[in-house]
Amino acid sequence: FQRVPWLYDAKILVGDILTELGSRRREAGDLDGAWENYRAAETAYGDAIRIAESDARGYRDLCEVCSRELYMEIHGRGSDLEQINAKALKACDEALQVDPDAADTWVKVARLHSSWAGYWARRGMDPSEDLEISISALDRVLKADPRDADAHANLALAYWERAKYESEHGKDAMDSLQA
């Protein structure tokens, strides 16, 4: 890869394969194996970023693998959550610096904030700030493409999470449910 820098795409592909293998291992209950694959994917994406810093794909895909790590830890062991969340948000922010209009990256940002909001809500904390960031990111996507199904699905989940929190805390959730 060092002698042929245009093999950047190969590094991205290696990261994608490792990310998918990690997810399959996670779904099979092999959390340690999933971690191995996710960490190796992070390395591959990091290598790709060093080769082509001006291409958003490496950052975007690093954000995705970190999002999957966060999901696994939120619903699994619960370790290193803040560090993983910060790493994922940093990668998404870097992707958006390169391509500020990338809808898929904005959806990843929204998913990260929704996951984090769900984590806080399950612990009795107010998830409103993260839900508002998620909703804002998805609104941005839908203004550019009102037919983006992924954005609509994630927006519905964010409003549902907000309504759930509101109803559990004695607030009227109808506005969130009707949004």
Helix (H) or strand (E) holding 14: helix 8-27
Q: What is the pLDDT of residue 179?
A: 64
CA angle at 93 for the pair 88 and 95, rounded to the nearest 5°? 95
Q: What is the pLDDT of residue 135?
A: 96
Q: What is the pLDDT of residue 105?
A: 94
25-76 pLDDT, tens digit per residue, is: 999 999 999 999 999 999 999 999 999 899 999 999 999 999 999 989 888 8
Q: What is the pLDDT of residue 2?
A: 54
Residue whose token pair is 């922010």? 93
- DSSP assignment of 67-136: HHHHHHHHTTT--SHHHHHHHHHHHHHHHHHH-TT-HHHHHHHHHHHHHHHHHHHHTT---HHHHHHHHH
Q: What is the pLDDT of residue 74?
A: 87
The contacts of residue 35 (CB under 8 Å, 6+ apart) are 22, 69, 72
Residues of the chain with pLDDT under 70: 1-6, 179
- DSSP assignment of 19-51: HHHHHHHHHTT-HHHHHHHHHHHHHHHHHHHHH
Count of CB atoms situated within 10 Å of the CB of 105: 26
Token representation of residue 159: 């409003």
Distance CA 41, CA 21 (A): 10
Quick check: 10 and 1 in contact, CB under 8 A? yes
